[in-house]
Amino acid sequence: MYIPARKKPPQPVHLDDYRPPDHLVERVQLTVELHPRRTLVRSRIAFRRNPAGRGPGAPLTLYGADLELVSLHLDGAPVELAALEVDEEQVLLPGPLPERFELAAEVVICPEDNSALEGLYRSRGLYCTQCEAEGFRRITLYPDRPDVLAPFAVRLIADPEECPVLLSNGNPAGGGRLADGRHYADWHDPFPKPSYLFALVAGRLGRVEGRFRTASGRDVALHLYAAPRDLDKLDFALEALREAMAWDERVYGREYDLDVYMIAAVEDFNMGAMENKGLNLFNVQALLACPELTTDAGYRTIRAVVAHEYFHNWSGNRVTLRDWFQLSLKEGFTVFRESQFSADFGSPAVRRIEEVELLRERQFAEDEGPLAHPVRPRSYLEISNFYTLTVYEKGAEVVRMLHALLGPERFRAGCDLYFARHDGCAATVEDFLAAMEEASGRDLQQFLRWYDQAGTPRVAVNGRWDPEAGTYTLEFEQSCPPTPDGAPKFPLLIPVRLALIGRQGPVPLYGGGAEGAAEAVVALAERRQTVVFREVREPVVPSLFRGFSAPVRWHFPYGRDDLKFLMDADTDGFNRYEAWHRLALEILVEQVRARLDGRQVPLDERLEQAFARLLSAPPADRELLARMLKLPTEDALAEAFEPIPIHEIHEVRQGVARRIAERFRSHLLTCREAHRVAEPARPDPEQMGRRALANAALGYLTLLDDPECARLAHRQALEADNMTDVYAALGALVDSPSETCATLGREALEAFYRRWRDEPLAVDRWFEIQAAASPPGGVERVDALTRHEAFDARNPNRVRALLGTFAHRNHVNFHRRDGAGYRLLARWVLTLDAGNPQLAARLAVPLTRYRRLPPGLALQMRAALEQIAAAGPLSPDLYEVVHKALAEGAPESAREA
């Protein structure tokens, strides 16, 4: 009996319709006989009736997709397959059923043909799984939902030549040879887990080993697996794992619980990594590292992702989710924990800048588009579409606000209570907040709105100093624009971390909950709220939302001289950067508006004055200084306009950057030379800061039509011993308007490919650099690269490197006035949807944001979406993205056009 994957347009699933399962699972025994085209999966599952279910007459609800059901036995007696009720992926075994019973099933699946990379698939000779969110149903029949937890015992059987390594969750429990020459390995995971955390990996893999001693004195074996040729690229990840384990013990009191912790590297993987209990699966880009192939940003990502997946052992695995609507309960919480960890390595201010830049430029856009949803959605069509920046990044900001409101000690007490109370259970957002309320004594019912209300709040702030009374008054007003769900917007509980900056730095605060402290956290709870600070005896400039204390758009009427003052005087590293960012942004926006109006406005001299101060500043934090030397991105500038003048923004930003390069050429050359790293490359904070600063200077210099500067970049691209410098030089050359740079860039790209053509990590960077290049002809370059020998549409990393980079980072070419960029992406979305729906749906997202474009571009982007919708049956993943975007309707300006 074949059970197909769902093909019909999906139906909405609603949070309010949640119902406990009628049956729970006490234990699972799986035997998986691996074969490329005919893998046999035998399961024995012990069920018991759930007292919270519908009673003895309720059917057993199972799920299966794209599998052949060979046989089914209930307590040893065969079940007539014709008696099963099959509706799409749901399989019902009619009741009444015993209080306790065992169900045994045999199914056959074909890993070789599984191009969706969900469930069990075979990729480049390696068997691996991806079961979150609903992939386990592609392996066997099961109540595939996160609130059904059970311990698993697994036996893997395979040809020892094809699969010498056999891995699954938990602790090893034996192995050996069978009479037919195959071998087997047994694994036992004693901790109850939902099916989405099941994993297996089998194939030809090498192993790097380490050990970690827990705080209680247990020795844990650390095993990292990769292709034999990549074993020398695992050392950094192994050390990052040790750091994460020690950090989680120290900061959260969480110890690891199994005897072995395993990570396996997979080349074809839809996600960055997956936290399967005891056996993490990692995209190779998030695990393998060496200076020649990995940028400094790549090293930071690897450390963060290794920590993120390890932290899930408690925030996600030991305490999991009642339903998928609670996804941010594990992901947002864990991203916050990962952020805390990452801030301990390198520059905390730069880590925060990177997080906020992603939030502002991508998540805020999500909040304002047709796919807007709360951190905890109320409904969905396809759950895989809700692995979004809102759930992850905004969800992390919600937890960060909770940390700010409660303080570190009470937040930690709340976490301890949450983990203790719900260990081995499936929890909800309400459970998490209840633990925080009990530990802190604070009412958090208003705070719950952050999980259930969509949209990015706005906060308008005004301030005034009364020198006679010695007071400084801040007036706040919060609001939130409408979102597609049409839900009303209520006031949120918003923590505003602030200081008042005087001539000598922050002045003592008296008021707003602070008595003499240099900083206060004001809880903004009303639509309008006023805070008065006493004993303010000098003029001050407020430093607001320090460290970006809430995910909001906020405005204060700073003068440009105020922003220059904060750049120098603020003691918060993020807010020093914020002052520069706002100053540069305001001046650039002024230039774009003048261009749109056909006017010429002199460039405000304060921009170059501020840049000169940065160049002459002592580099106490080189990474932060490098960040501050960069002009606001095109995405940041776009937020000031409706509709977005894509091409004018690009031209103005590049023109101002070139002017800075001309004015400060000698200073930039000196900066590059002073901070260039001569010794062998290492991924340590000191070298990373120096490289960042030297390459920031090089990025300006290559904008000049200057053969000397072009040769500097060319030499760096060919001779540098590390990918950070090579990538920066190549990117600067190919993105330059200079013909000399363009010629040398082509030569350097050819040399790069000749050297690294057999290294997938490097080839991804090669595609990425070209996809992001802004000179004219970008659509044709990307189209040609899709036919290059190294482009493989079955590999998600390669698709993201080329097509994802083009759509997200190359605005001037993707949004070309003739719509060719949209048509190129739409064509590839349809091509990919036939084999990998998750990848296709995520790649389609840039096509959904047409409402903020000028009329001509908006019509062409919408036409590309309509082309996708009309192409025939779409996967449920892509159907939801496309139809939600089209349902919003064309903007009025586009209809008029």
**Residues recognised as catalytic:** 309
Q: What is residue 347's three-state secondary structure? A: coil
Query: b/e map of 157-195 (b: 16 or more CB within 10 Å)?
Result: bbeeebbebbbbbbebeeeeeeeeebbbbbbbbebbbbb
DSSP label at residue 9: P
Sign of the alpha-carbon torsion through 585, 589, 592, 598: negative
Q: What is residue 753's three-state secondary structure? A: helix
Residue type, 427: A
**d(C-alpha 530, C-alpha 524), whole Å:** 9
Dihedral pair phi/psi, residue 286, rounded to 5°: -100, 10
Please state at what angle helix 685-701 crosses helix 723-735, rounded to 10 degrees: 20
Q: What is residue 150's three-state secondary structure? A: strand
The DSSP annotation for 507-575 comes to: PPEEETTEEEES-EEEEE-SSEEEEEEB---S--EEE-STT--SS-EEE----HHHHHHHHHH-S-HHH
Rg (CA), the chain: 28
Strand partners, 103: 45, 74
**d(C-alpha 462, C-alpha 167), whole Å:** 60
**d(C-alpha 390, C-alpha 419), whole Å:** 24
C-alpha closest to that of 147 among 386, 375, 425: 425
* CB 401, CB 450: distance < 8 Å: yes
* CB 357, CB 633: distance < 8 Å: yes
Q: Would you call 750 exposed, middle or buried from its count of C-beta atoms within 10 A (0-12, 13-18, 19+)? A: exposed
Phi-psi region of 5 (alpha: psi -120 to 50; beta: other; left: phi over 0): beta
Q: What is residue 254's three-state secondary structure? A: coil
**Which pair of tokens denotes residue 323?**
């339903």
C-alpha closest to that of 52 among 190, 147, 141, 143: 147
Q: What is residue 90's three-state secondary structure? A: strand
Strand partners, 260: 221
Phi-psi region of 545 (alpha: psi -120 to 50; beta: other; left: phi over 0): left
- Give how far the C-alpha of residue 322 lies from the chain's centroid of Cα atoms, to the nearest Å: 22
**d(C-alpha 392, C-alpha 726), whole Å:** 31
Strand partners, 73: 78, 104
Dihedral pair phi/psi, residue 400, rounded to 5°: -60, -40
**Which pair of tokens denotes residue 221?**
């074996």
- Give how far the C-alpha of residue 48 lies from the chain's centroid of Cα atoms, to the nearest Å: 38
Dihedral pair phi/psi, residue 798, rounded to 5°: -70, -40
**d(C-alpha 880, C-alpha 885), whole Å:** 8
Give the CA count within 13 Å in the CB-facing half-sphere of 535. Answer: 11
For strands 471-479 and 458-466, give the pairing: antiparallel
DSSP label at residue 66: S
**Which pair of tokens denotes residue 492?**
């949120």
Give Cβ neighbours of residue 533 (< 8 Å, ≥ 6 apart): 471, 472, 473, 474, 500, 509, 510, 511, 512
* Terminal Cα distance for the chain, rounded: 54
DSSP label at residue 142: B
